[in-house]
Amino acid sequence: MTDSMNCTSAQEMFSALADGELDAADVVRIESHIATCSHCAQEWHLFRESLAWLHEVQPVHAPSDLLVGIHAKLAHKNPITTWLRDLFGSPLSALSSMAIITLALFFWVANDTPTQTPQGTMADAGAFSQNRPPATMPTRLPARQRQVTPTFNLASDSWSNNLSSTTARLSAIPGLTPDYSITVHAPSPETQDLLYQRILSQNHWRVHPARNGTLLIYLDEQDLSHLQHTLGPHRLTMTPQPSLNKRNGALRAVSLRVETQ
């Protein structure tokens, strides 16, 4: 068989070859070229090796407070426009009304400034206006200040303290109600701690601490049985009972609490 391919056209097909996108005839052509061309053989080897490195980059978990932050941003950006929208009906009239109110506030601040700053310099006026309540939408905090990192230390006594700050954020999520509610009855505080640690160490679900030692767990419905298995032989109550016809890919929210008897 003659080699009907040059190096350039062979290397143009490397990507499709690696992805299995070539038809059988092209695969034969390119493979026979690689078999007879040492330069392309080396390039193909390096190409595959670099792809293998690339595919080692695995996805990472999204931060546990991503959803809380979204609701914080929605709540942070909306109050004035929402109020204006409720007041004036349409978004357009709300926007124009906001512009009018902003202008009015600007003139009010501008007229008020000399009486508060006897020196009357621009710098003083700027400093003064910073001390006033914001006249328009509040400015966004820098990213570093907006970062919220939930702390979660089961071993320490600060468990409930750590939870309370996280609880405040979680309770801000509107409409977050669990599909299942599980209460586990642990024989001792040690077992209670152990069960919490077991749940937190699993990769099958995502856990958010909620109020009073309750965990909010997000999982695929098919992992419910795995969760029950993780809880071991301890007595538990679960409402409602899970459906026998589990749907893979169906995301479920579970509220779980471990109580000591």
Partner 1 sequence: MELFILTPCLLIIVVLLNNSPGHLQQNGDTFSKTAELVLACQAGDKQAFNRLVLLYQTRIYNLALNYVKTPEEAKDLAQDIFVTAYKSLPSLREASKFSAWLNQLTINHCRNRYRKLQRRGYFTSTSTDDIIVPALVSTNTPERNLEKDERIDMVRTAIASMPEAEKEIIILRDLQDFSYEEISETLGLPLGTVKSKLNRARHALKNKIKHLLKTP
* Interaction site with partner 1 (CB under 8 A): 11-16, 18, 21, 41-43, 45-47, 49-51, 53-63, 66-67, 69-70, 73-74, 77, 143-144, 146-147, 173-177, 203, 206, 218, 222, 247-251, 253
d(CA 151, CA 163): 8
d(CA 53, CA 229): 36
Shortest spacing between CB 258 and partner 1, in angstroms: 23
Q: How far is the CB of 76 from partner 1 (least distance, A)?
A: 10
Distance between start and end Cα atoms, the chain:
80
Q: Which is nearer to partner 1, 74 or 168 (CB)?
A: 74
Distance CA 19, CA 14 (A): 9
Residue 173 C-beta: closest distance to partner 1, Å: 6
Is 234 buried (19+), middle (13-18) or exposed (0-12) by CB count in 10 A? middle
CB of 134 to partner 1, least distance (A): 20
Cβ distance to partner 1 smaller for residue 28 or 251: 251
Whichever of 35 and 70 has its CB closer to partner 1, that residue is 70
Residue with Cβ nearer partner 1 (47 or 128): 47
127 within 8 A of 110, measured Cβ to Cβ:
no
What distance in Å separates the CA atoms of residue 197 and residue 216, rounded to the nearest whole number?
14
**Which lies closer to partner 1 via its Cβ, residue 153 or residue 237?**
153
The CA dihedral of 218, 183, 221, 72, to the nearest 10 degrees, is -20
Of the pair 101, 173, the CB lying nearest partner 1 is at 173
In whole angstroms, how close is the CB of 231 to partner 1 at the nearest point? 22
Q: What token pair was written down for 148? A: 């919220």
Q: Least CB distance from residue 8 to partner 1, whole Å?
A: 11
Token pair in block for residue 72: 């914080």
Residue 102 CB partners (closer than 8 Å, separation 6+): 135, 136
Place of tokens 């026998």: 244
CB proximity list for 173: less than 8 A, separation 6 or greater: 67, 68, 71
Q: Which is nearer to partner 1, 78 or 161 (CB)?
A: 78
> CB count, 10 Å around CB of 1?
7
Q: Kindly state the smallest distance separating residue 79's Cβ from partner 1, in Å.
A: 14
**Residues near 216 by beta carbon (within 8 Å), at least 6 away in sequence:** 170, 176, 178, 207, 208, 209, 210, 253, 254, 255, 256
